[in-house]
Amino acid sequence: MSDQLKISTIPLDSCCGCHMALVNLGTDLLDILAANVLVYSPVLMDKKSIQPCTVALVEGGVRNHENAEKLKELRQKADILIALGTCASFGGISGMGSAFTTLELLTNAYGADFSPEDLPVLEPRVTPIDAHVDVDYYIPGCPPPIGLLKETLSSLLAGEKPRRVDLPVCAECKRTVKKHLQPELKRLADNLPEPDECLLSQGFICLGSVSRCGCGAVCTHAGVPCRGCRGPIDRVFIEPTHGILHDLTRRISHFTGSKVADIESRLEDTLHTFYRYTLSVPEMRRKDAEQIHQLIWRIKV
C-alpha cells in the first residue's frame, strides 16, 4: 500500500450510529484523516459521486434498490470493503422487518392509502451486504466498540491484517458460574441479578455464550443480559448443528435442570429476541438447528 490511502464511507439502511462511532474516535480519527484522504462520505463531506478508494466502510444493510446499486458501485471502486456494524454484517435491527411483507411495513408506516410511486422500491427483505457483494472484513457491533474499531482501522491502514475476534462474550465477562440449579427463567423487569454471578446461571436469558466478544462485556458487567449485538460466534453461525437458540437452550437446561423441549416451549413468545440482529442472515434461515423459519415471512417463488 502507498503511504497515503483513499478512504470512503457510506450509510445504507441504517441509523448512522456506526458513523457516530467513527466520529467518537475523536483525535484518533483526525490523525487518520490527516495521514490519508477521505474521498467519499455523505455523512462527513459533500461529495455527490462515489470515488475510487483503497478502503471503503459500509454501514447498514440493503433495504431498497438504491442501497443495492450504491453498494455494488462502491465494491467495484474499492480495493478493500469493510462491513461496518451489525446491520452491514448481519442485517441488524432493521432485519426484523423480514417477519413481515413490504406491504405490511409500508401500510403500518404510511397508512392504507399511501402511494407506492412516492417511495423507494423496497427489496423483499433487508439483507446483509455480503448477500450482494464480496466483503473483505467485518467490524460488527451496534455500534462497533470504539477500542476494537480503532484497532481494526489502524491495522488496515498500516497494511496489516486485523486481529480476528471469535471468542464469546463470556470470555470477557468477569461473572462466575454457580453450580446450583436455577429452576425458573427470570426477567429483569421482575428480578434484580446477583452482582457477581453469571446471569445465565441465575436464570436470566443472556446470549453471551453464543455472541461475539470485543465489547468488553459492558452490558453483563452492569447486570444487563447480553442481547447479541455483535452477532454470533463462528461456531454458532457456520456449523449446521449449532445455532443461537439451539446452543442457548441446552445451556439453560444445564443450569436449570429443565428439559430442552420445555425451555423451548416457554420461549416461543420471545423467539424474535434471539434473532433481533440476525433475522435476515440467509445462512441462519437455512439452518435446521434454528427456528427462524417460524418468524420470517416466506417469499413465494
Query: Which CATH number covers residue 20?
Result: 3.40.50.700
Both 183 and 287 in one domain: the answer is yes
Both 127 and 229 in one domain: the answer is no
If we measure between CA atoms, which residue out of 259, 236, 231 comes closest to residue 247?
236
Through-space distance between the first and last CA atoms of the chain, rounded to whole angstroms: 45
Both 143 and 228 in one domain: the answer is no
Residue 2 clears pLDDT 60, i.e. is over it: no
The predicted pLDDT at position 298 comes to: 52
Both 148 and 229 in one domain: the answer is no
Q: Does any domain span residue 300?
A: no
Both 133 and 200 in one domain: the answer is no
Both 175 and 236 in one domain: the answer is yes
- Examine the fold and report which residue of 132, 157, 182 is the final residue of a domain before the chain moves on: 157
Q: Does any domain span residue 162?
A: no
pLDDT digits (tens, 9 = 90+) for 116-170: 777 778 888 899 999 999 999 999 999 999 999 999 989 988 889 898 889 999 9
184: which DSSP letter? Answer: S
pLDDT digits (tens, 9 = 90+) for 202-247: 989 999 999 999 999 999 999 999 999 999 999 988 888 898 989 9
CA 166 to mean position of chain CA atoms: 14
- pLDDT category of residue 51 using cuts at 50, 70 and 90: very high
Both 227 and 91 in one domain: the answer is no
Domain that holds residue 25: 6-157
Both 52 and 141 in one domain: the answer is yes
Q: Does any domain span residue 163?
A: no
Q: Does any domain span residue 205?
A: yes
Both 93 and 226 in one domain: the answer is no
If we measure between CA atoms, which residue out of 197, 203, 243 comes closest to residue 220?
197
- pLDDT category of residue 44 using cuts at 50, 70 and 90: confident
- pLDDT category of residue 300 using cuts at 50, 70 and 90: very low
Domains of the chain: total: 2
Under a CB-based contact definition with an 8 Å cutoff, are residues 25 and 150 in contact? yes
- Examine the fold and report which residue of 104, 137, 157 is the final residue of a domain before the chain moves on: 157
Both 69 and 109 in one domain: the answer is yes
Whether a cis peptide bond, with omega within 30° of 0, leads into 240 is no
- pLDDT category of residue 25 using cuts at 50, 70 and 90: very high
What mean pLDDT value characterizes the chain?
Answer: 89
Higher pLDDT, 183 or 175: 175
Both 136 and 19 in one domain: the answer is yes
Both 188 and 268 in one domain: the answer is yes
